[in-house]
């Protein structure tokens, strides 16, 4: 018995990179898969059925169960469609992994509104629409479920030349946290993975020029498997960072701060300047 035997899983962006590695690993663990990928280029242009079909063929050749889906999951009809296909093909939906993404890097002063909108549409709006559609199905089924988002180190810390991508991934973090709070009562557990790996979206970054097999999608896929399986228990609202062989957790924390009692607690700007260093102390 695999970790995902008799579980039906939707993975968006599963034709390449981390999504592909996750789909192949999940198939080894017995999952029945809807392999979604529109086949768009890394900048979101064009469509091609080849990537999704290739992954499905590999899974079927190894004895697994998988079907292709080519919907644009950043549209309401596409998000609903991919979840409906899981129900039609396999009788339900147990796990959603949001892995679809594009990249259009430009520095802030050169970034066009169109590139801003398109990156947020795919990463953030797509994650929202798929999460909503999957959660509605899981709630109706009454047996809980698991949703795994893909955020990014850029979203947690920011990164030069990636204002659109970082904003989208920071938004995914906020979406994940809120969904984890709202859906927990239905036994739907929502978490995220923040990967750093050499994929077609990152391969031209300077840091990956001399990196071959030490930071691959295969390093990231087990984190998705952990959150998709019973091994993660009732954990929800977490961000697991994967950088090659290193795993860590991202947390947003508040410092101890200072309290002002005089003047009804109203701080002046001068006082903030005076105490700013101490406000940073954990």
Helices 50-61 and 17-28, axial angle in degrees (round to 10): 20
Q: Is 267 helix (H, G, I), strand (E, B) or coil?
A: coil
DSSP state for residue 259 in the 8-state scheme:
-
Q: Which of 165, 173, 186, 250 is catalytic?
A: 165
165 tagged catalytic: yes
Task: Tell me which residue of 104, 87, 117 sits closest to 44, measured CA to CA.
Answer: 104
Measured in Å, how far apart are the chain's first and last C-alpha atoms? 45
Q: Are 4 and 95 in contact (CB under 8 A)?
A: yes
Q: Are 49 and 71 in contact (CB under 8 A)?
A: no
Q: 3-class secondary structure for 78-90?
A: HHHHHHHHHHHHH
Residue linked to tokens 């979406």: 175
Q: For residue 29, with 0-12 CB atoms within 10 Å meaning exposed, 13-18 middle and 19 or more buried, which class applies?
A: middle
**Alpha-helical runs (H) found in 4-144:** 17-28, 50-61, 76-90, 113-120, 126-141
What is the Cα–Cα distance from 139 to 135, expressed in whole angstroms? 6
Radius of gyration of the chain measured on its C-alpha atoms: 20
Q: Facing residues of 68 across strands?
A: 35
Q: Is 275 helix (H, G, I), strand (E, B) or coil?
A: helix
Instruction: Provide the annotated active-site residues.
Output: 165
């Amino acid at each position: 018995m695999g970790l995902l035997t008799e579980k039906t899983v939707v993975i968006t962006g599963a034709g390449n990179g981390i999504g592909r590695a996750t789909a192949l690993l999940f198939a080894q663990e017995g999952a029945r898969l809807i392999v979604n990928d529109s086949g768009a280029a890394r900048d979101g242009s064009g469509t091609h059925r080849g990537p999704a079909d290739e992954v499905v063929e590999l899974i079927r050749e190894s004895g697994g169960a998988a079907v292709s889906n080519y919907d644009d999951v950043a549209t309401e009809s596409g998000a609903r469609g991919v979840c409906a296909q899981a129900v039609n093909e396999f009788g339900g939906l147990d796990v959603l992994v949001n892995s679809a993404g594009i990249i259009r890097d430009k520095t802030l002063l050169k970034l066009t509104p169109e590139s801003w909108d398109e990156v947020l549409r795919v990463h953030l709006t797509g994650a929202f629409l798929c999460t909503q559609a999957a959660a509605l199905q899981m709630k109706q089924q009454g047996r809980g479920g698991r949703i795994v988002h893909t955020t990014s180190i850029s979203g947690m810390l920011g990164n030069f030349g990636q204002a659109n991508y970082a904003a989208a991934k920071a938004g995914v973090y906020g979406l994940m946290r809120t969904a984890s709070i709202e859906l927990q009562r239905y036994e739907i557990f929502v978490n995220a993975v923040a990967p750093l790996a050499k994929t077609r979206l990152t391969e031209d970054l300077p840091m990956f020029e001399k990196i071959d097999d030490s930071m691959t999608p295969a390093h990231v896929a087990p984190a998705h498997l952990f959150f998709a399986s019973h091994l993660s228990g009732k954990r929800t609202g977490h961000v697991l960072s994967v950088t090659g062989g290193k795993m860590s957790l991202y947390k947003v924390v508040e410092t101890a701060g200072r309290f002002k009692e005089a003047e009804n607690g109203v701080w002046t700007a001068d006082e903030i300047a005076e105490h700013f260093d101490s406000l940073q102390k954990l």
